[in-house]
Structure 1
Amino acid sequence: MKILVTGASGYLGGRLCNTLIQKGFSVRVLVRPTSDLSALPSPTDAGTLEIVYGDITDYASLLSACSTCNIVFHIAALVEPWLPDPSKFFSVNIGGLKNVLAAVKETKTVEKTIYTSSFFALGPTDGIIADENQVHHEKFFCTEYEKSKAAADKIALQAASEGMPLVAVYPGVIYGPGKVTAGNVVGRMIIERFNGRLPGYIGYGNDRFSFSHVDDVVEGHIAAMEKGQPGNRYLLTGENASFKHVFDVAAVLTNTKKPRFNIPLWVIEAYGWLSVLFSRITGKLPLISPPTVHVLRHRWEYSCDKAKRELDYRPRSLNDGLAEVLLWLKNLGSIGY
């Protein structure tokens, strides 16, 4: 069985590819010529990894990559809270998905597609703990990324309703060892916190997110491939908590002091606007932007009970996951304690 993975050079995709290869699967990856492939094993070392160069926005290269594959993991996405050109979210996250669905349909060998959506596609929960039945209310969107993933989700579910063997999975805030990218926001914030660039709590702990360890999400993807029922949605989330709680747990685990004050969100938002201005000058994307603050003003709490029942999904506790992340960052030299 040959498996195609899009987004293999990214944080989650790289971890998935390594695990699939360790389990003995033959993996083909679609990556851009400019992609950083450091998270992937060498094709000559692995023997079961094949690299194909292309782009999900280039249909011809995608169709070629799909050829003879039995399973497609569509993980590739543009994951940023803010971009100077928001149209890129829609060309990659929506246009790319449309290309994948068309290529899968044209490729007669594909038996199942696992589409990696996002909890953002389901929308904020604000007072409830939601499950897979939640549909985004579309009254507002905190980020253009959220808007693009909500629209893409509709397209994926429509394809499934028309008979495509597609399973949609929805990770929470992914954290864990691996690339410290925009997709690894927990790692980035811990680095800022321990290096003194984030001296206090962000807000007052009113935010709530569902935190997912990257290796649990990887196992959830593989379980969705093996056990997931086509047309179904599965939340691959974990413990619901605030970033204030994350900082508190990190302080306890490292025997360091907790932050002594809270930074109001309006201050963070003002800093975000300055960061955006600086970004437009330098071209370097900001860690904090106004859309990030809009996200922090809401709650995003979800239940993964369905995945536990049907996929045997077993997310670890935030305490256990953070203990691993903190030690990993320390060994990297990214933080000290």
Structure 2
Amino acid sequence: MAKILITGGTGFIGIPLVKKLNSLGHALKLLIRENSNITPFKDLNNIEYIIGDVRDIDSLYKTIKDIDLIYHLAGYVKVWAKDKALYSNINILGAENIAKIALENNVPLMYMSSFGALGPNPVDSTEPTNENFQHVDFFINEYEKTKYLGREKIKEYIEKGLRSVIFYPGFVYGPGDFNIYGEMVFDIVAGQFLGLPGKGEAVFCMCYLDDVINGMSNVIGRDDLYGQGFVLGGENIKIGAYLDLIAEIAGVKNPRRFPKWLGIIYARLCKSKTIFSKKRVPYITPDMINGMDYNWAFSSESTIEKLGYKITPIREGLTRTVKWYKDFINANGKKKKKIGIRVLKK
């Protein structure tokens, strides 16, 4: 069994990955911050916690001793930040710092990139692209830009000799998500979703959380995969149809549509309210709405062939997901500010 260092282990994807690797018998070392919530792991053994920050390379050197493998999941994934430097400091500098210590210590790196690093499909095309697609010369938001540049840093270190595999998850859905698309599921199930701006015709690659975890864990011991990238995708579906399917499974009315321009006005109001309040992230941003003008269809063909990757049918995945949100709402109510995976003192 391997001794594995994990960054971002307390996030939406990190928590089930930690549990999966722990169940396989691996010894885990989690890089956490002082206020990280580690309660999801309270019943697990063979986990060590190291306080540090991917932006501080000095704090990383103390984590690498006796490590056989690194999973780097830490990233700034929120739709907005008052301090835009958070995106570059975490998604670019953080990735480079991890790559640097991995190369210096000859430790393989499993790097979680993003669909954003690949970019949207060519204009007016719904043909799925893959991990070899070259990003076009514009970026919709800071997240997409910095995930692309972070991925480029990893490639630079691969050229220097770093043994690494790059993962490109699509739009991940599943139990426990309270980021923007998870909030959409929550609000639809709770009967409080305001609606979808535009016609909902853009195609998104929606991937079930468990599939992503299985794909990421299947690379252990596969030295033949170093230097390669893999899309961890799912079904490609129009965003409007995706939200309608959630509503159907939840037994509520389909989300209404409203003009894009009205959505942009609402998003600007949300952003302004965040700037002048203690709210950390707006519910929606103009960039996010503009991103729905593009198709994000991806193919997992190579991942299926080389990793034995399996895609859960979207109705099946959403049925499990909706049930989780229903149970959560029944236990906690409909106010998101009082629920979700929140940061707690140890």
Q: TM-score range by the shorter chain?
A: over 0.9
Distance in 2 between the 1:37 and 1:287 partners?
A: 26
Distance in 1 between the 2:289 and 2:73 partners?
A: 26
2:321 aligned with 1:320, yes or no? no
Distance in 2 between the 1:204 and 1:160 partners?
A: 42
**One-letter code of the match for 1:35?**
S
Distance in 1 between the 2:260 and 2:190 partners?
A: 21
Counterpart for residue 214 of structure 2? 219
Distance in 1 between the 2:251 and 2:329 partners?
A: 18
Q: Is the 8 A contact 1:202 1:268 kept in 2?
A: yes
Distance 1:323 1:226, change over 3 A: farther
Q: Is the 8 A contact 2:113 2:166 kept in 1?
A: yes
Q: Deviations over 1:3-47 (max 9, x none)?
A: 0000011111111001111111111100010112233x12xx422
Distance in 2 between the 1:79 and 1:226 partners?
A: 29
Return the offset for 1:209.
1.0
Normalized against structure 2, the TM-score is what?
A: 0.90
Counterpart for residue 63 of structure 2? 65
What is the identity percentage for the equivalent residue pairs of Structure 1 and Structure 2? Answer: 29
Q: Secondary structure at the match of 1:149?
A: helix
Q: Secondary structure at the match of 1:8?
A: coil
**One-letter code of the match for 1:122?**
L
**One-letter code of the match for 2:214?**
E
Return the offset for 1:316.
0.5
Return the offset for 1:56.
0.5
Distance in 2 between the 1:177 and 1:188 partners?
A: 11
Q: Deviations over 1:142-176 (max 9, x none)?
A: 11010001111111112112221100000001111
Distance in 2 between the 1:134 and 1:51 partners?
A: 37
Counterpart for residue 131 of structure 1? 130
Counterpart for residue 201 of structure 1? 196
Q: Secondary structure at the match of 2:71?
A: strand
* CA RMSD across the alignment: 1.6
Count of equivalent residues: 326
Of 22-31 and 249-258, the range deviating more from structure 2: 249-258
Q: Is the 8 A contact 1:2 1:25 kept in 2?
A: yes
**One-letter code of the match for 1:145?**
Y
Counterpart for residue 274 of structure 1? 269
Distance in 2 between the 1:187 and 1:322 partners?
A: 11
Distance in 2 between the 1:9 and 1:191 partners?
A: 20
Q: Secondary structure at the match of 2:6?
A: strand
Counterpart for residue 38 of structure 1? 39
Return the offset for 1:226.
3.6
Return the offset for 1:117.
0.2
**One-letter code of the match for 1:235?**
V
Return the offset for 1:181.
3.0
Q: Is the 8 A contact 1:63 1:107 kept in 2?
A: no
Of 60-69 and 199-208, the range deviating more from structure 2: 199-208
List alignment gaps of at least 5 residues for structure 2. 335-346
Normalized against structure 1, the TM-score is what?
A: 0.92
2:328 aligned with 1:332, yes or no? yes
Distance 1:53 1:249, change over 3 A: same
Q: Is the 8 A contact 1:187 1:325 kept in 2?
A: no
Q: Deviations over 1:240-299 (max 9, x none)?
A: 11221122212322333323x311222111111101100011131111011111211111
Distance in 2 between the 1:262 and 1:96 partners?
A: 39
List alignment gaps of at least 5 residues for structure 1. none
